[in-house]
Amino acid sequence: MKSFKSALSSPAGRAFLALVLVLAAGAIFNADHAFFKIGTQRDTLRQASVYGMLACGMTLVIVSGGIDLAVGSIVALAAVCAAKMAIHWNWPWWQVVPACLGVGALCGLVSGWVTASLRVQPFIATLSMMVLARGLAKYASGGMKVSTALPNADGSYRYVEIPALFHGIDHSIFGGNLSVVTLIFLVCVALAWLALARHRWGRYLYAIGGNEEAARLSGVPVVGAKICAYIASGLFAAVAGLCQAAQEQQGDPEAGAGYELTAIAMVVIGGTSLMGGRGGIGLTLLGVLTIGYLDKILSINAVPEAGRLVLTGIIIVAAVLTQRRGRT
């Protein structure tokens, strides 16, 4: 009992408890044993992956005391660019992937520069980028989904093959039991963890999030470290956009709307503080799994939309309240 209590005194213990409770709910409301099928597990992890990638970048930004609202729109922009390059222009994958990442990094660079150098509040700076990137996505796609149906000059359509890149990403390995998208997410987690927990830059971000002025006085390159956090967030969002396009087999300029809020919820449920300076990627991974499984359990039980929203809202608030109580 004592060890149980001490486990709950750490944010990781509490985030883990939340995940266990959700999994227990899934075991009870298993929808005729559908919850226990390996396919369900694979789908749950795949569906949470795109949000999870955003949450990785979001964690870096939130630890530094910022927020990145632009990630959902960058997903759409990267998805449109990927579809345009891979389907319409027939680029090979080794050109599409770096180009997409470049677009994401550029968006992050602008957000970071406006926030760190021009000292605009992150909320406002990334809100502007959210609107701007959405506009660019609509402009690049002409307001239509970029799909394998290409318009001819006379208004009719011709159809092209789905690019190999998309098939490669939207694919399952290990006998169809693990999605490549989930693998990409795990790589993102590993990279973000290395940066935040093992690299000097990660220490800088914690220091800036804890007390920016103190960090600056002790010689932390505040502006550079912050800009890099937003670039990383843009990069992860671009990876998410590529995965989104591959799974939809098209680039939808409306994709990713509201994803930034899900990503923030995942980070916060994990126990990372929105005030900055506290948290970690491991916590975010627990948050991603908690929301991912919650979503799946509501879906396999065919809970109506209204009920889903109410339950999700209640559970997020409950999880965040437990996290806060532990901090005093």
The residues of the shown chain that bind other proteins, judged by CB under 8 A, are 31-32, 34, 37, 39-40, 43, 47, 138, 143-145, 147-149, 151, 155-157, 159, 170, 172, 176, 244, 247-249, 252, 254-255, 295-296, 299-300, 302, 304-305
Q: Which is nearer to other proteins, 98 or 135 (CB)?
A: 135
Rounded to the nearest whole angstrom, what is the least distance from the CB of residue 159 to other proteins in the complex? 6
Nearer to other proteins, 39 or 168 (CB): 39
Whichever of 251 and 282 has its CB closer to other proteins, that residue is 251
Residue 205 CB, nearest approach to other proteins (Å): 31
Question: Taking the complex as a whole, how short is the minimal distance between the CB of residue 308 and other proteins, in angstroms?
Answer: 9
Indicate the residue among 88 and 203 with the shorter CB distance to other proteins: 88
d(C-alpha 296, C-alpha 303), whole Å: 10
With respect to other proteins, which residue has the nearer C-beta, 21 or 144?
144
Q: How far is the CB of 293 from other proteins (least distance, A)?
A: 13
State in angstroms the smallest separation of the CB of 45 from other proteins: 12
Compute the residue count for the chain: 328
In the complex with other proteins, the residue whose CB is nearer, 147 or 233, is 147
Strands of 81-230, DSSP E: 149-151, 157-159, 172-173, 178-179
CB environment 235-248: b (16+ within 10 A), e (fewer): bbbbbbbbbbbbbb
We find the least distance from the C-beta atom of residue 296 to other proteins, in angstroms, to be: 7
Segment (H or E) for 244? helix 222-248
- Dihedral over alpha carbons 143, 145, 239, 61 (to 10 degrees): 40
User: Would you state the structure tokens that stand for residue 179, as one six-digit string?
Assistant: 């999605």
Provide CB contacts within 8 A for 183, sequence distance 6+: 173
Q: Could you tell me the two tokens for 33?
A: 């044993």
Q: Are strands 157-159 and 149-151 parallel, antiparallel or unpaired?
A: antiparallel
